[in-house]
Amino acid sequence: MVPTTVCSLISSGLLSPTKGTDSKLSDPAVAAERMGLPPVTPFFGLNGTAAAMMRGVNFGSTPATIVSGVLDGWLRGYDRFLFQSLSQQVRQVFEILQVLQLELGASAARRAASSALFILSFGKDDYAALFSRGSESNRLAPKYGRRGFARLLVSRLIQAIRDLYDADVRRVAVMGVAPLGCAPRIVWEGAYGLGGRDCVEEVNEIVAEYNAKLSARLLRLNSELAGAEIVFCDVYGGMMEIIANPRIYGFKNVRDACCGVGRFGGMIGCLAQEMACTEPNSYVWWDLYSTTESANSLLANWSWSPSSESRQQLCKPIALQELASISDSEAL
């Protein structure tokens, strides 16, 4: 039996075919399609009825962070209503569950929460702010330390999952952070010290440490929370496989942004579709930090159901397809 609902708490859609998102992994629309469910509605597009909520909800925004206020300097002049942090999105989940409880009763609300598949993809925007030149990095680095930042992010994410568990959520997939040291923006900022390499190794090492801490903590959390099924998807490993073997997967360019301005397309991000390259399918990177649809599709396939040919299994201990197929009785 597949979940009756797919929900997503994300910083930018991971499982969505749209260009400029992290990857297809965490977009609830694609997850819903693969599970034979109707399209998922954004939180702010709901009509307030339990029926609409039961079809699934996308709580995500672009950008969004684990740590509230990280992007304050970036968002000056923008409508902050559009950018929802992890804690804000978790509160929105609680709002949805309260409506379901009022309209359908406590028992039905519990079943809805436990049978839903929740997909969390956070961390990219936190690290993008940490690694960027300027006020945000100057503020964050001394406060947390580049490597100590991981402990803070992991603890906040784990607490969010615990809070969701207390609200009867049982099935959760958590996406790791991609190798941002290979992203056009980071490469552009560190170009003078690269020595011909395509990635900034120090940044990748820091992100890899975060992913390792998160994966290990999620493994322990799985054993601590009775009935929980928590999966970690190694986006970093999948991306490094593509970057190391681009021609095997049909790519020609692993360093430059398809849509951007300046060296590596990393100085100014994608402001209009007309800025895009003529062959986006041959690029790994779409803009400053986001991957192309072609790269996203590979990551989504490897996460949903790893093929015997590629031998790439990004999600552990089980793939998303198996997580989605767990019956309600197994999840409780």
How confident is the model at residue 195, as a pLDDT?
A: 60
Closest C-alpha among 328, 323, 297, 276 to residue 17:
297
Alpha helices in the chain (DSSP H): 28-34, 50-53, 86-104, 106-115, 124-131, 135-144, 149-166, 184-189, 201-224, 235-244, 293-304, 320-325, 328-331
Given a cut of 50, the residues of the chain with pLDDT beneath it are 1-4, 10-23, 75-81
278-292 residue pLDDT tens: 999 999 999 999 999
Q: What distance, in Å, lies between the first and last C-alpha atoms of the chain?
A: 14
Q: What's the predicted TM-score (pTM) here?
A: 0.85
Residue-range domain boundaries for the chain? 5-236+308-325
* Cβ-based neighbours of 132, under 8 Å, separated by 6 or more: 185, 189
Alpha carbon of 80 to those of 88, 156, 194: distances in Å? 12, 21, 36
What residues contact residue 123 under an 8 Å CB cut-off, 6+ apart?
11, 66, 153, 157, 176, 177, 210, 214
The two three-digit tokens of residue 104, written as one number:
């359908």
Question: Tokens 């949903």 label which residue?
Answer: 304
Residue 323 backbone dihedrals phi, psi, to 5 degrees: -60, -40
Q: Residue 324 has what pLDDT?
A: 87
User: Using one digit for the tens of pLDDT, what is the confidence trace for 185-202?
Assistant: 999 988 755 665 679 999
Task: Give 51's DSSP letter.
Answer: H
Alpha-carbon distance of 122 to 137, in angstroms, equals 18
